[in-house]
Amino acid sequence: MASIIKGYEYDVFISYRQNDNKNDGWITEFVANLKKELESTIKNKITIYIDENPEDGLLETHNVDKSLSTKLRSVIFIPILSQTFCDPGCYAWQHEFLEFNRLIKDDQLDKDVRLRNGNVAGRILPVRIHDLDSDDLKLLNDELGGQLRSIDFVYKEPGVNRPLRPDDNEDKNLNKTRYRNQVNKVANSIKEILYSIQNPEKQSISLSDELLTIAAPSSKSIAVLPFVNMSNDPEQEYFSDGISEEIINTLVQIKGLKVAGRTSAFSFKNKNEDLRTIGEKLNVKTILEGSVRKSGNRIRVNVQLIEAFTGFHMWSEKFDRELNDVFILQDEIAKAIEEKLQVTFGEKPAKPKVIQHTQNVDAFELYLKGRSYTYKRGLHVFDALQCFEEALQIDPDYALALSGLADSYSLLSLHSYMSPEEAWPKAMKAAKHAVQIAPELAEVHASLATILILFERDWDRAESEYLTALKLNPQYIQARSWYAIFYLPVVKLDFETACKHARLNVEYDPLSSYAQTIVSSTAVLAGLYDEAIAAGEKSVEYDRDSFIGWYYLGLSNHAAGNISLAIQAYKKSLDISGRHNWALISLLSIYSEPSEYQQIREANLIYTELLTKARVGYVSPSILAIASANLGKYEEAIRYLKQASEQHDPFFIVSTQVRPDNSALRGLPEFQALMKENGLR
């Protein structure tokens, strides 16, 4: 019987080491159960081939049997990974796994399949029945071209590493997996891959909500690279970067024009990268680059518009102005680009609106400097706060600086650096003033929305402000990120839409570490652990010094049961951040759980560290509640929890989410009662 996909012999080919089936027939039983699960999951009859050839240990000189070669013409390949599978002398490894991986590189179908929900799945779907040695993992990762993603059937107790069986008690299994559920995961994965191949037109995200609509990359796409600082003063770097950012902010107003996000464009800063490569990585057709020379009270800006794939210079111009005319200069550059876009893109776009939010150059420079600090997060936000305050001393009605000030206070309280009592009123005052002055700015509405949800818990108004921000600027990543991680999964319990918003950020800013972090955080909440881990890995790849990227990589692995990898990532986050409290409680939760990783002494030391921090400064009571609950100190946990609710602690919003480090807290009846009091489920 042929595959349900035209041109293939089988839907599924299952490869295994013969020795792994001899002891108790685990493979035979698994295949039988998988067939039953598929029958109850998929309408069509699925064909599965399992190689029952008893021969093993063949050498590389042996040829693949012709009949086997035909059977390898399958849609999905499932290798049963055991302690002995990754062996160059093993028939299954050499003539099935390696051969299939070679065949699909020249196949009519891609090696990877885009699923209906926007995720990507490989046609090699590994099933793991043993924890593998590091050498075997490296061998697999090298062959697969990335970190192993497998559906695990491993039963673990101290000193025990064997295949999971149907009658195993999940509570006794350190991996906490259940055989029936794992079989269902395999069947669902097969179903999704086959369905998505059969129905490619249904794979794209299709929502009526215009906020989730993004135009396919076309000739109407541009990236603004960071302008080169030609001044003698390296401290002016933020000024040349700021000019580039202001041009980006202007271009995103042109409807139908895709503008590469700031972080992705700026990833090429100080790199002599070929423009064609940049165009491919950012998926844009045109690139704007330039330089800024600031000397005394004079400024010179050179700009040029280039066709990415040919290197053809479409337009260039030099602007010489007084520094006080920097705002007029930005307006001139925007208008010049707008005029050129009429020719470049074949039709006249809506004219971008250049809004001068301050006439003071010093305030503008301080704002640019403050924004450069907020991108770094962590303790750098204190530096940002100071810059915004100084800018507002010069110009009290500078809306963007007010928005930056409000965001700084919100972030400092959310990250447990500042109490709500101190941050909340200051953040709200700044945000309200900003909205009053410049209601046309997406930034000010996003700032207000975040305060409404983190501090005031006014869910309806918060959503309204987020949606207003996204309508004003669909490419404002910060608004979409906060909407995706604070509102949708907490108030609506809509994890699917939250993930779609997070993925859309990556469409706009594909090389952004922060955008990948948001994908990782939303995917964890949705239970999409493979996607969460993959995004976390990209986040730290794009920025090795991102403590929040390392943190969510740890949380993703923690949720997926990859505890050793989680510990490594948490520790990296702690080192970079100066021992950030989020990573501390997550690490404490691992050390306090009964498992091979349990270290009660280390857990108690972390708890003491948090209490010491609370005595000399501030620590979120929600964080203390999570830490207490993990250590079985339930009376303390309830006391801290009530404090968090009464004080409107921003981290309380995070603690309501289903995470691997807060299950002990969420299990308390008092916690559920407080959620209801706050209008949450």
Taking only the tens place, the pLDDT of each residue in 423-472 is: 999 999 999 999 999 998 899 999 999 999 999 999 999 999 999 998 88
Q: Residue 521: its pLDDT value, please?
A: 95
Contact between 186 and 125 under an 8 Å Cβ cutoff? The reply is yes
Q: Residue 658: its pLDDT value, please?
A: 86
Domains of the chain: 10-202 (3.40.50.10140), 212-344 (3.40.50.10610), 579-681 (no CATH)
Largest Cα separation within the chain, whole Å, is: 83
pLDDT reading at 6 higher than 90: no
Taking only the tens place, the pLDDT of each residue in 101-143 is: 888 877 878 787 876 655 567 899 999 999 888 788 778 877 8
Q: Residue 359: its pLDDT value, please?
A: 76
Q: Residue 343: its pLDDT value, please?
A: 46
Find all residues with CB under 8 Å of 609, minimum gap 6, and list them.
579, 584
Q: Residue 487: its pLDDT value, please?
A: 93
DSSP 311-328: --EEEEEEEEEEGGGHHH
Strands (E), 4-46: 10-15
Helix axes 621-630, 600-616, angle to 10 degrees: 160
Angle, CA of 167, 171 and 175, to the nearest 5°:
90
pLDDT reading at 257 higher than 90: no
61 band by pLDDT with thresholds 50, 70 and 90: very low
Taking only the tens place, the pLDDT of each residue in 522-552 is: 999 988 999 999 999 999 998 898 899 999 9
The alpha carbon torsion through 616, 618, 619, 620 (nearest 10 deg) reads 160
Instruction: Over range 622-637, report the average pLDDT.
Output: 96
The structure tokens 């705002």 sit at 327
Q: Residue 211: its pLDDT value, please?
A: 55
pLDDT reading at 208 higher than 70: no
Residues 30, 338: Cα–Cα separation, whole Å:
62
Exposure string of 386-421, with b = 16+ CB inside 10 Å and e = fewer, is ebbbbbbebbeebbbbbbbbbbbbbbbbbbbbbbbe
488 band by pLDDT with thresholds 50, 70 and 90: very high
User: To which H or E segment does residue 128 belong?
Assistant: strand 127-128
Average pLDDT for the chain: 84
Cα 654 to chain centroid distance, Å, stands at 16
State the pTM of this model.
0.64
pLDDT reading at 348 higher than 80: no
Instruction: Over range 87-106, report the average pLDDT.
Output: 85
Taking only the tens place, the pLDDT of each residue in 155-185 is: 988 888 899 999 888 778 877 788 888 888 8
Q: Residue 600: its pLDDT value, please?
A: 95
632 band by pLDDT with thresholds 50, 70 and 90: very high
Query: Which comes out higher in pLDDT, residue 396 or 257?
Result: 396
Neighbour order of strands in the sheet with 48-50: 48-50, 10-15, 74-81, 127-128, 151-152
Instruction: Over range 557-571, report the average pLDDT.
Output: 94
Residues 115, 135: Cα–Cα separation, whole Å:
31
Residues facing 289 on adjacent strands: 304
Helix axes 513-526, 529-542, angle to 10 degrees: 160
Extract the tokens encoding 620.
């979120």
Which range of 84-98, 302-316, 419-433 scores highest in mean pLDDT? It is 419-433
What 8-state DSSP symbol labels residue 495? Answer: H
